[in-house]
Structure 1
Amino acid sequence: MTLYYSLVFALLVFEMAVFMALIVPMPFTVKSKLFTFISESPIIAKLQYGMKITFIFILILFIDSVNRVYRVQVELAQAKYQGGGVAAVAGSERMEVQARKFYSQRNMYLCGFTLFLSLILNRTYVMILDVLRLEAEVKQYKGEKGGNSKTTQKLNEAGNAGEISGLREELRKRDRDIEVLKKQAGGLSDEYARLGDQFHVSDGTPKKDK
């Protein structure tokens, strides 16, 4: 197994461990604090962004493995058509083709299950957040411990934490752009005033006192 497919396998094992951690029964207070921390942590947000890029590369590997499986199937079909059966293919060549078919299918299944499990993890995470939010609202209505409005608000914000962090980053970029535009506008204003003074001097028109 090559290095990148070994990394894909390690990622698959990590996803399985995360999935098991998500479905482990825990008290409501502990689970709500844990999911609130996960949603509000900037480190987790950066990790999720890096994982999205990683899954794009895994999707490319999945498409490549599907293409390899298709080409191997075409070679086997051509060998059967030309020789009248698989037995017509030489032993070493047949072994080589079968090995390529096995490795291509293994890589396809590995990448496919990794991508599929990532979708399951994302959906499971959203569903658990919804369940925690509804449970907090029920506890709030019943007046039970742990069902306060602060917990409900945090759980509501946790579901949109990724969007909020993205909007905050976008606002910071807009603020930086506005500062740059202000500096450019100030420079243009000074340059305009300087050129205006030069024009008045060269034209012989006296400057008006402000």
Structure 2
Amino acid sequence: MTLYYSLVFLLLVFEMAVFLGLIIPLPYTVKRKLFAFISESPIIAKLQYGLKITFIFILILFIDSVNRVYRVQLETAAFSKDTTSVGRAAALGAERMEVQARKFYSQRNMYLCGFTLFLSLILNRTYIMILEVLRLEDRVKLLEGDKKAGGKDSARIAEAGGVGEIGRLKKELEAKDRDIETLKKQTEGLQREYHNLGDKVSQSDSAPKKDR
């Protein structure tokens, strides 16, 4: 196994360990603090960014391994057509063994890269689902009257679990509140102008009556 495929295998083992760590049952408080730390740690953020770049290279290796498997399949089919006689089959035996070995290695690399990419998707989805469950548990505890359910950890988990959706909605609500306040001020200004104009019109109407 070459160096980069060995690194892919180590990454697969690391993903398996992380997945087991995610599904291990832990106390609610410990799990909440752990995921709050993961969601706000700059080191974890840099690690996730580096893994995203690594998965791009693994995707390239996966496409290359699929291409190799296809080419080896074509070579295997060509060898099966050439074995028309016993002497020809004996002469091509060594080459056929080499092709079968390359087929095995290419398929192994394809499965290795494929499972690594697939497990990365499962990890991402599992992480988001756990954050969502923790956020909903916090909301249930708050509704039940548990004051300990709120706090910084809950806010961090809510921001991470919403994947930016909650923050975006909060910004939209703040913008709408500002718009409402602006409209209220404009309405009050228009009402004052309307009353001033009404007073001026009433004064202009009453002035000729006094002259009479």
Q: TM-score, normalised by structure 2?
A: 0.71
Structure-2 residue corresponding to 1:56? 56
Rg larger in 1 or in 2?
2
Deviation at 1:98, TM superposition (A): 0.6
The one-letter amino acid paired with 2:24 is V
Q: Are the counterparts in 1 of residues 69 and 106 from structure 2 also a CA contact under 8 Å? A: yes
Structure-1 residue corresponding to 2:17? 17
Q: Are the counterparts in 1 of residues 36 and 157 from structure 2 also a CA contact under 8 Å? A: yes
The whole-number CA distance in structure 1 between the counterparts of 2:141 and 2:90 is: 72
Deviation at 1:146, TM superposition (A): 3.8
Structure-1 residue corresponding to 2:118? 116
Q: Are the counterparts in 1 of residues 82 and 89 from structure 2 also a CA contact under 8 Å? A: no
Deviation at 1:42, TM superposition (A): 0.6
The whole-number CA distance in structure 1 between the counterparts of 2:91 and 2:123 is: 45
Residue deviations 1:51-83 (CA, integer Å, cap 9, x gap): 000000000000000000000000011122233
Any residues of structure 2 matched to 1:20-169 within 5 Å, and which? 20-84=20-84, 87=89, 90-144=92-146, 146-148=148-150, 150-159=152-161
Deviation at 1:84, TM superposition (A): 4.2
Change (3 A) 1:129 1:28: same
Change (3 A) 1:161 1:37: farther
The one-letter amino acid paired with 1:5 is Y
The whole-number CA distance in structure 1 between the counterparts of 2:164 and 2:38 is: 10
The whole-number CA distance in structure 2 between the counterparts of 1:156 and 1:76 is: 55
The whole-number CA distance in structure 1 between the counterparts of 2:109 and 2:62 is: 7
The one-letter amino acid paired with 2:28 is F
Change (3 A) 1:81 1:162: farther
The whole-number CA distance in structure 1 between the counterparts of 2:5 and 2:70 is: 19
Deviation at 1:7, TM superposition (A): 0.3
Deviation at 1:50, TM superposition (A): 0.4
Change (3 A) 1:41 1:149: closer
Number of matched pairs: 164
Change (3 A) 1:162 1:6: farther
Q: Are the counterparts in 2 of residues 79 and 89 from structure 1 also a CA contact under 8 Å? A: no
Change (3 A) 1:44 1:150: closer
Structure 1: gaps (5+ residues): 164-210
